[in-house]
């Protein structure tokens, strides 16, 4: 081997060692960076004229286990979905109260039963009758507040859908641009690893909203598809649409056309509003808005209907005629069983017995339509009202015989059970996500290994420098001859 060839080989070795040091230092410095894929430098022996010509520096390889990455993203989507539903159901429970807790709907109804017993024990007491009117008003107000709270949660879910669709479109646009940049970088011979890191972060953001699977395309590009088969990007990114409703009332649903679903090119993508994009936080928002919270509203309306119906029964209050409102009303009118939707938001104390509206509390004892004051010691109506509220009955929507308080307690327990059910799913999803995240990290940057590589790079660099120093000595000896 000639001296010039030796010098060329050593220089190529030093250059390769310098490039390797750059790659290794990048790995070490980004060991804790999300989305960073470990790099390695591809080296091969250079051959010129059938002879070795040092080392040839190849491309930089970015190492990512796509199987673990894909599973981690799906687990993250599931974790986000159930975490969102837990948050929603926790707020619902805060609104309706827990069974047996102070201020809950069932607690308010029990207070009415207690007030009825107290009033029946001394029907001549205006204090007892005032307390009864107050407790009845409290029940109506609690149901009103709970219903409003449910609609507020639906508005929150609707706003969340709008925000998530905007974020989804933004992230898909970023992936589309990064796909193009990566292809251009590869075609130009540049290292596209940094762009791939940024694309991975953008896809991670998408996977929280919608579960996705990643598929390779030519030129280093990727396509994204939901597990159910909805393509999000394959070349050009799709742009999804959604129109938010700032105010939502109980009668507004997706099926009635009062609420909106996600659209693509102006067409709704599924009858449930979210179509094949279900599974992440976006699907959870639709499930909360159109299922969980609608069921909660229906439960409140059933309680309100049961309570009003018992107290406007002419068999309980003989002074009432069929078609006349009882002690509790539907916004001041008689309750119609065909108009139950949103009843809990409209239930109110009859103005005839509401002191704040100039009502006469003695009508609670004598009957709403009593023409003249009855005997102050007559407790028959109060006892009849107490029996009507406490006895087990079925309703048009609930075939189980229960008292009003028991029905309210069952509803509160059901809301709590849904929350616990979602919490169980969160625990499972979190354990799965943590395991996959740990496996992904284990396949990432190992700083111990990288430091060992750095020592080897140092040794290689020193060895090549020694060759150059030796060649320099030989050249000097030749020049001295």
Chain mean position to CA 261: 17
- Measured in Å, how far apart are the chain's first and last C-alpha atoms? 21
Extended strands (E) in 64-103: none
Helices (H) and strands (E) in the chain, counts: 11, 11
Measured between alpha carbons, how far is 219 from 178 in angstroms, rounded to an integer? 12
Please name the helix (run of DSSP H) or strand (run of DSSP E) that holds residue 413, with its range, or none: helix 404-442
- CA torsion through residues 276, 277, 283, 286, sign: negative
| Chain-centroid distance, C-alpha 98 | 23
Number of C-alpha atoms within 13 angstroms, CB side, residue 202? Answer: 24
In contact, 294 and 255? CB cutoff 8 Å? no
Predicted confidence at residue 52, as pLDDT, reads 67
Question: Quick one: three-class SS letters along 119-171?
Answer: HHHCCCCHHHHHHHHHHHHHHHHHHHHHHHHHHHHHHHHHHHHHHHHHHHHHH
CB 169 within 8 A of CB 127: no
- Predicted pLDDT of residue 125: 93
pTM as predicted: 0.88
CB contact at 8 A, 457 and 22: no
Print burial letters for 26-50: b (CB count within 10 Å at least 16), e (below 16).
Answer: bbeebeeeeebbbbebebeeeeeee
Domain ranges of the chain: 3-64+444-480, 102-408
Q: What residues pair up with 41 in beta bridges, in sequence order?
A: 60
Alpha carbons 141 and 143: distance in angstroms, whole number: 5
pLDDT of residue 406: 95
DSSP symbols for 183-235: HHHHHTT---HHHHHHHHHHHHHHHHHS--EEEE-GGG-EEEE-TTS-EEEES
Which secondary-structure segment (H or E) carries 364? helix 363-366
How many CB atoms are closer than 10 A to CB 383? 16
Low-confidence residues of the chain: pLDDT under 50: none
Which backbone phi and psi does 451 adopt, to 5 degrees? -70, -35
Beta-bridged to residue 27, according to DSSP, are: none
Half-sphere exposure of 49 (CA within 13 A, CB side): 3
Cβ atoms of 201 and 35 closer than 8 Å = yes
- Three-state SS string over 225-290 comes to ECCCCCEEEECEECCEECCCCCCCCCCCCCCCCCCCCCEECCEECCCCCCHHHCCCHHHHHHHHHH
For residue 58, the surrounding DSSP H or E stretch is: strand 51-63
- CA distances from residue 477 to 6, 9, 299, 361, 467 in whole angstroms, order as listed: 16, 21, 100, 122, 15
Dist. CA 403–CA 386, nearest whole Å: 11
Per-residue pLDDT tens over the stretch 405-464: 999 999 999 999 999 999 999 999 999 999 998 888 877 777 777 788 888 888 888 888
Provide the angle, in degrees to the nearest 10, between the axes of the packed helices 380-390 and 293-311: 150
């Amino acid at each position: 081997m000639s001296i010039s060839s030796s010098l060329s080989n050593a220089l190529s070795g030093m250059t390769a060692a310098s490039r390797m040091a750059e790659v290794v230092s990048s790995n070490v410095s980004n060991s804790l960076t999300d989305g960073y894929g470990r790099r390695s430098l591809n080296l091969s022996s250079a051959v010129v004229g059938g002879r070795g010509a040092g080392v040839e520096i190849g491309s930089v390889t970015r190492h990512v286990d796509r199987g673990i990455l894909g599973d981690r993203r799906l687990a993250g989507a599931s974790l986000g979905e159930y975490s969102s539903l837990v948050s929603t159901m926790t707020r619902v429970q805060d609104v309706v109260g827990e069974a047996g807790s102070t201020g809950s709907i069932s607690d308010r109804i029990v207070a009415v039963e207690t007030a009825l017993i107290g009033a029946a024990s001394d029907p001549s007491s205006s204090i007892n009758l005032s307390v009864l009117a107050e407790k009845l008003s409290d029940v109506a107000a609690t149901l009103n507040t709970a219903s409003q709270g449910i609609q507020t949660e639906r508005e929150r879910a609707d706003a969340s859908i709008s925000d998530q669709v905007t974020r989804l479109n933004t992230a898909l646009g970023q992936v589309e641009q990064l796909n193009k940049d990566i292809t251009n970088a590869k075609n130009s011979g540049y290292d596209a690893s940094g762009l791939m890191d940024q694309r991975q972060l953008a896809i991670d953001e998408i996977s929280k909203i919608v579960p996705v699977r990643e598929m390779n395309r030519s030129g280093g590009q990727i396509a994204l598809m939901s597990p159910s088969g909805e393509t999000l990007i394959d070349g050009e990114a799709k742009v999804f649409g959604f129109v938010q409703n700032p105010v939502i009332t109980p009668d507004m649903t997706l099926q009635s056309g009062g609420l909106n679903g996600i659209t693509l090119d102006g067409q709704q993508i599924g009858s449930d509003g979210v179509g094949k994009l279900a599974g992440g936080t976006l699907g959870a928002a639709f499930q909360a808005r159109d299922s969980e919270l609608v069921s909660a509203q229906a439960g409140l309306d059933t309680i309100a209907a049961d309570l009003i119906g018992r107290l406007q029964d002419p068999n309980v209050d003989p002074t009432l005629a069929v078609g006349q409102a009882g002690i509790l009303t539907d916004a001041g009118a008689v309750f119609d069983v065909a108009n139950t939707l949103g009843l809990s938001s409209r239930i109110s104390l009859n103005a005839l017995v509401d002191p704040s509206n100039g009502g006469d509390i003695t009508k609670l004892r004598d009957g709403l339509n009593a023409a003249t004051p009855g005997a102050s010691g007559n407790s028959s109506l109060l006892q009849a009202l107490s029996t009507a509220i406490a006895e087990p009955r079925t309703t048009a929507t609930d075939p189980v015989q229960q008292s009003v308080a028991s029905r309210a307690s069952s509803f509160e327990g059901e809301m709590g059970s849904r929350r616990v059910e979602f919490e169980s799913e969160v625990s499972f999803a979190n354990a799965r996500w943590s395991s996959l995240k740990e496996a992904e990290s284990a396949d990432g940057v190992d700083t111990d290994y990288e430091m060992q590589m750095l020592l080897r790079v140092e040794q290689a660099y020193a060895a090549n420098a020694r060759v150059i120093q030796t060649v320099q000595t030989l050249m000097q000896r030749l020049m001295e001859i």
